[in-house]
Amino acid sequence: MNLRLKFILSITLCFFLLTSCSMSEAARTLLPANHYLQYMEHLNPDISEMDELFYQENDLDNDGNMEIIAAFGHKYTDENEIAACFVLRNNDGKIQLVGKDFCIEGYWPAAMQLVKFTGSDQTYIAVNVTNGLNLNGLYIYEVNGNSVNHIGGKASATGAGNTYLDNKLNDGSYGGFTYSQWSYDVLYYPVTTFYSFQNGAFVQQTSIVDVRDYPESPADAVIQWLSLKELSQNYNSDDIKTRLNEIGGSVDHNMSNIDWYSALFNYIMDFEPSNEDYQNTFMNVNETTKGQTSTIAVSVTDQDNKELTAVTFSLSLCDGKWHIDSINAASKML
């Protein structure tokens, strides 16, 4: 056999082996799309009357088996609405159900995408949710074994807020998500918080808080101090710390077990005690101001008007701003 013939045979053999491997791999990992559709229609016959809103194949958990991620629903002018969603797995040519309607929770899901997060080689499912008004939320799901788990994201229960993927890197991965609130859940102080993806979980980082203009009256200074103290229990914010230091008092005071959020919310909204059978707290504020000094008496009661605690704030006016000089509580309020 001459050298030229040997070379031709070698090339032919290599091409045959490569083609055989590729065909074998394709046969192992690929199934016609209609097979998956028939399987999903068997699980939910209604999807035959729906629009296909999302369909993609991806090895989400890097186990060597492809997952099929699909969403069906209705297309509208402003927002789509997902009414059914699936994660299927091609397990060596056999279709396996991993998750069904996992994204149908709370607000209505409007859009779906696959995303990567920095530091992880897995692919995640991100679902945008909305109430059709002032809320744009985000739910993030992970395929773990034979289940789909909700691992992060936010959608404000108040019906107002924005959540979006953030800190996108050059490789297309995201560092986490940002959550913005501005309704009664944060006592109407706009709060923006970044959650970073670390070791498979989302970790709350520092928050930017709009503390607004410095309060003009001594009573407003006390209400803001109490409000920001309450928010500081859940948000690590330099803006809050700076304003609390400006107003005075002691930033190191710990809030007691009294429901200060309800007391402040009811005071801000001017709500009166009701006969509802759930527990609420209410707050009365009395101001006595003489010249450049002021005393603010705060009384916290339950819905039956029973006093839970009372506290007196002493303030003085300095450089045009009211500052808290001392706090005296009748019981452990702070």
For the record, the structure tokens of 334 come out as 């702070």
Mean pLDDT of 186-214: 97
pLDDT at 16: 41
pLDDT over threshold 80, residue 174: yes
Q: pLDDT (tens digit, 9 = 90+) per residue, 118-162?
A: 999 999 999 999 998 889 999 999 999 999 999 999 999 898 999
pLDDT range class, residue 105, cuts 50, 70, 90: confident
Distance, in Å, from the CA atom of 19 to the CA atom of 35, rounded to the nearest integer, reads: 25
Which fold is adopted by the domain 218-329? Nuclear Transport Factor 2; Chain: A, (3.10.450)
Q: What is the mean pLDDT of the chain?
A: 87
Q: Phi, psi (5° rounding) for residue 67?
A: -100, 145
Decide: 71 and 112 in contact? Cβ < 8 Å: yes
To 10 degrees, what angle do helices 218-231 and 260-269 make?
Answer: 140
Domain residue extents for the chain: 29-209, 218-329
pLDDT over threshold 80, residue 275: no
pLDDT at 3: 43
pLDDT at 122: 97
pLDDT range class, residue 163, cuts 50, 70, 90: very high
Burial of 305 (0-12, 13-18, 19+ CB in 10 A): exposed
Of 329, 310, 314, 333, nearest to 219 (Cα)? 314
Residues 6 or more apart from 261 whose CB is under 8 A from it? 187, 230
pLDDT at 258: 80
pLDDT over threshold 90, residue 24: no
Burial of 80 (0-12, 13-18, 19+ CB in 10 A): buried
Residue found under tokens 């040997």:
6
pLDDT over threshold 60, residue 76: yes
For the record, the structure tokens of 97 come out as 């159900």
pLDDT at 72: 97
Residues 6 or more apart from 16 whose CB is under 8 A from it? none
Per residue, what are the HEC states of the chain? Answer: CCHHHHHHHHHHHHHHHHHHHHHHHHHHHCCCHHHHHHHHHHHCHHHHHCEEEEEEEECCCCCCCCEEEEEEEECCCCCCEEEEEEEEEEECCEEEEEEECCCCCCCEEEEEEEECECCCCCCEEEEEEECCCEEEEEEEEEEECCEEEEEEEECCCCCEEEEEEEEECCCCCEEEEEEEECCHHHCCCCEEEEEEEECCEEEEEEEEECCCCCCCCHHHHHHHHHHHHHHCCCCCCHHHHHHHHHHECCCCCCCCCCCHHHHHHHHHHCCCCCCCCCCCEEEEEEEEEECCEEEEEEEEEECCCCEEEEEEEEEEEECCEEEEEEEEECCCCC
Predicted TM-score (pTM) above 0.75? yes
